[in-house]
Every structure is written in C-alpha cells, then in structure tokens.
Amino acid sequence: MTHRETTGAEILIRGLAKSYGEHQVLSGIDLTVPAGSVTALLGPNGSGKTTTVSIASTLFPADSGSVTIDGHDTVTDARAVRSIIGVTGQYVAIDDLFTGRENLTLMADLRHLGRAAGRRRADDLLEQFDLTGAADRAVSTYSGGMRRRLDLAMTLVSTPRVIFLDEPTTGLDPRSRRVLWDIITGLAGDGVTIFLTTQYLEEADQLADRIAVLDHGHIVAEGTAAELKKRVHDSEVRLTFPDDEAFDSARRLLPSARPIVESHRLDIATDDTVSTIRTTLNLLDAADVEVADVHVHTPTLDDVFFALTGAPAEEPVETDADTSGAA
C-alpha cells in the first residue's frame, strides 16, 4: 500500500439540533473529534448518525448549533470545509455503467489532477484497494465489498484531511468487513481524521480511539473503549461447580460472590483477575471443593450499551454475500 502523510483537522460539534417536523432527531449534540483521531459515533438504527454526518459534511444545515472543521463553519464557510473533507458511504459519486478505473479517473479530472497524474493516482488506488483485477469491469458487476472499497478510493483521489465514513461496513460479510477495517486503520496511520458511524460495537472497538454513543438524539457516553467498559463493572472471575453440594460449599466460602443458582456458578467482581483466581482456587482446594470451570468475563461494549441505554444495541443482519474473490 502506498501511504501519504496528511495533517488531520479537528471537528467541533456544538449544540447540534435537528428535527423533521415533530420528530426531534438530534437534541443538542456536543462532540469534539480531535485532529488525526479515529472517532466512532455508535448508535442503533434511526439514532441520528446519518443526520449528524450529513450536517457535518455540509449536505444540509442544522436547526441550531454548529459544526466547525479546522475552524471553518460548515454553513457560512461550506466551500472551505468541502475542500478538506471526503465523504463515503452513500455511493454518491459512483457511476455503475463505468468501470472502476473510469470512475477514478473521472474523479481525478473533477479534482483537476491532470491527465498523467490522474491515471497514476487511479492505478495506485486500484492497487491499494485490491481492485486492479476488476479495474476494467463495469461497477454494476462489483460485489458489495468491492463497491465499498471503490467508494472509499474515490474519496482519496484528492487528499482529504477529514474522512466521514457513514456505516462503512453495514451489510458486508465478515471477510469484506475485515478488509475495510485494515484499509481504515492504514488511513488513520497516515494522520487523516476519521469520523465514522457504526451500529457494530465490535467495529467501534476495533477501529476507534474514541467512541461517542448516540441514543435517541443524545450523546449518552463518550470515551475510549476501555473507559466506556470501565463504566459498566469490573472484570469477573466466573466459577462453575459440578453439583449442588460443591456449589453450596463454595457459596459458604465465598459469601461476597454473586450466585447464579440455575447454572451452579459464582461470579466474583475484581480488578485483578489473576490473583483472584489464585486465591479463590487455593481456598476451594483447601476445603476439597471441586471446580468444573473457571472463566474470566471482561465487559464488552454490548454491556456498556445495555448499562447506558437500558436496551441492547440492535445487531444488524448480514446481507451481502461478497463475491470479491473474482477481484
């Protein structure tokens, strides 16, 4: 992959509100996306993610509040903002009847790269995004994963300092998702600011330095994945016992553990799992209490979402069977 160093720009979102008729979609959002960071806006379907990205990328104005990128207001200084951002996720720029290469060179023309430089850039991007084999096929024959990659490549024909990725992998199979994750991680390494929306907890966890959780138009939590996980509970050492007798003895020896009676399990909250396992097993061993299984549970972002919103995050259905093996 060829990488180019970029100076990322900061995004400041202040008091952002937007309604459609009676329906308030955003209720005054504040969010700072540091320059050069990967920040994820995590939320279920309909929580307002696309609305936030659309306003921040100058597509339409908010009812109140503001977004500034590198100090430029997205309404009063939209032209300056557009010159430093790239937006992907809506395939707006892709023409299905053209090949991947033609789409890229058209974009290069649009960006005034010049004929030779434009072709070189297209070749580089096709290679970087593993599309060289499919470069001269009409985009209408591409799989979902290939289209997502081309979409992102189109954004990179110029050198944006901020990239918006609206649900970059929704509907993709796990393999295509991983390919895109690798690409996004590579871009982040180049210094560009990445603001992505996702409904996949795992995706936010994998990619983002910072995560903001959006629920019904409010940011309900913000921080690193580790910070958010800390807000739920400590890790737990979970001990399972083979029968009633062992379970009852263990409960007497470990009165502060949380019993899950139906599965003969005791959960012990701890911030030091190793020493908890050691001392607990020694204690049980000394009392001749048999243990069937020991398991460490670290809080997941799913736990965080549940703790913050009182509801599980909806997991989207896999829809795209990627046929990019032909690429």
Ligand X SMILES: Nc1ncnc2c1ncn2[C@@H]1O[C@H](COP(=O)(O)OP(=O)(O)OP(=O)(O)O)[C@@H](O)[C@H]1O
First to last CA, the chain: 17
Nearer to ligand X by C-beta: 153 or 313? Answer: 313
Residues lying near ligand X in the complex (CB under 6 A) are found at: 20, 25, 43, 45-51, 199
What's the rounded Cα separation, in Å, for the pair 129 and 282?
Answer: 54
Q: Is the dihedral of CA 78, 84, 87, 91 positive or negative?
A: positive
Main-chain dihedrals φ then ψ at residue 279, nearest 5 degrees: -65, -35
Nearer to ligand X by C-beta: 129 or 200? Answer: 200
CB of 212 to ligand X, least distance (A): 12
Q: What tokens appear for 150 in the block?
A: 């081309």
Nearer to ligand X by C-beta: 91 or 98? Answer: 91
Amino acid at 273: T
CB of 171 to ligand X, least distance (A): 11
CB of 308 to ligand X, least distance (A): 16
Nearer to ligand X by C-beta: 183 or 313? Answer: 313
CB of 52 to ligand X, least distance (A): 7
CB of 217 to ligand X, least distance (A): 8
What's the rounded Cα separation, in Å, for the pair 68 and 311?
Answer: 32
Nearer to ligand X by C-beta: 25 or 266? Answer: 25
**DSSP for residue 1:** -
User: Pick from 100, 95, 108: which is nearest to 136 by CA?
Assistant: 100
The alpha-helical segments, DSSP class H, found in the chain are 49-56, 78-84, 100-110, 115-128, 144-155, 174-189, 201-207, 225-230, 244-253, 273-286, 301-309
Main-chain dihedrals φ then ψ at residue 144, nearest 5 degrees: -55, -45
Please report, for residues 74, 83, 85, 119, 161, the alpha-carbon distance to residue 106 in angstroms, rounded to integers and kept in the order given. Answer: 26, 17, 18, 10, 21
CB of 180 to ligand X, least distance (A): 17
What's the rounded Cα separation, in Å, for the pair 176 and 169?
Answer: 8
Nearer to ligand X by C-beta: 48 or 100? Answer: 48
CB of 151 to ligand X, least distance (A): 16
**DSSP for residue 165:** E
What's the rounded Cα separation, in Å, for the pair 146 and 320?
Answer: 11
Nearer to ligand X by C-beta: 34 or 46? Answer: 46
Nearer to ligand X by C-beta: 49 or 72? Answer: 49
CB of 177 to ligand X, least distance (A): 16
Locus of tokens 């974009």: 107
